[in-house]
A and B are shown apart, each in its own frame.
Chain A
Amino acid sequence: DTGVSQNPRHKITKRGQNVTFRCDPISEHNRLYWYRQTLGQGPEFLTYFQNEAQLEKSRLLSDRFSAERPKGSFSTLEIQRTEQGDSAMYLCASSPLLRDTQYFGPGTRLTVL
């Protein structure tokens, strides 16, 4: 069990650029979640995958955001035409199918200039 990993750990980009983050969950974890955390706040749910199917999306996930988990293993989160308000920590978590405990990665800190 190597834990959930996320890459990159930090990303600085200019407004209007596209960015993509990757999450590698704990192997054999069927469920994968993306969260966004802004300074001084708790994480907010963005989206959820069970295997390769994206089953839930938050209203926070505007049409500039897209997430995939093509083979039911790693996942990517893409933000198109970034805005300064997208600056946040993006967290990924995974869990086994029949357990509700989520295991979090270290996050990707995005700064949009």
Chain B
Amino acid sequence: AQSVTQLDSHVSVSEGTPVLLRCNYSSSYSPSLFWYVQHPNKGLQLLLKYTSAATLVKGINGFEAEFKKSETSFHLTKPSAHMSDAAEYFCVVSDKTVMKTSYDKVIFGPGTSLSVIP
């Protein structure tokens, strides 16, 4: 069965320092993996997506994530945090094989709240 673990419910960094948000997943086959960001009172926005091409995925706003199959991880990083990065971040797994009806079943992690200190 699919599952997603986000190891930190809250991360706090100083502006200009690196960001690391951790995600581990469990999936039977080869999943697609996503990171979404949710700002207060805003909709979920796709940051980046992994679909078995390059293991290092670059997203918007300077974020990137590395898929490590041996560690079943998909951690999100950014070299330098900006105040506008403060938000809730969700790691998502989509397993194409769970398809009795040919849709992509997605499972969201519980989220990591990122705070950026001036």
1/0 contact trace for B69-107 toward A, CB 8 Å? 000000000000000000000101010100011111111
Q: How many residues of B contact A (CB 8 A)?
A: 28
Contact, CB under 8 Å: B111 / A40: yes
Which of B36, B45, B51, B101 has a CB less than 8 Å from the CB of A56? B101
Q: Which chain B residues border A48 with CB–CB below 8 Å?
A: 101, 103
A50 within 8 Å of B by Cβ? yes
Q: Which residue of chain A has its CB nearest to the CB of B100?
A: A56
Per the bound structure, the CA–CA distance linking A2 and B83 in Å amounts to 27
Number of residues of chain A lying within 8 A (CB) of chain B? 24
Q: For chain A residues 74-98, which have a beta carbon within 8 Å of chain B?
A: 91, 93, 95
Is A104 engaged at the interface, CB distance under 8 Å to the other chain?
yes
Residue in B41, B44, B100, B107 with the greatest tally of chain A CB atoms within 10 Å: B44
- Kindly provide the distance from the CB of B74 to the nearest chain A CB, expressed in whole angstroms: 15
Query: Can you give 18 A-B contacts (C-beta < 8 A)?
Result: A4-B43, A42-B108, A42-B109, A44-B108, A50-B101, A55-B103, A56-B100, A91-B43, A91-B44, A100-B94, A101-B46, A102-B104, A102-B106, A104-B36, A105-B43, A106-B41, A106-B42, A106-B43
Additional A-B contacts beyond A42-B110, A104-B45 (19; CB < 8 A): A3-B43, A31-B103, A40-B111, A42-B4, A42-B92, A42-B108, A42-B111, A44-B108, A45-B105, A45-B106, A45-B107, A56-B105, A91-B43, A91-B44, A93-B44, A101-B34, A103-B46, A105-B43, A106-B43
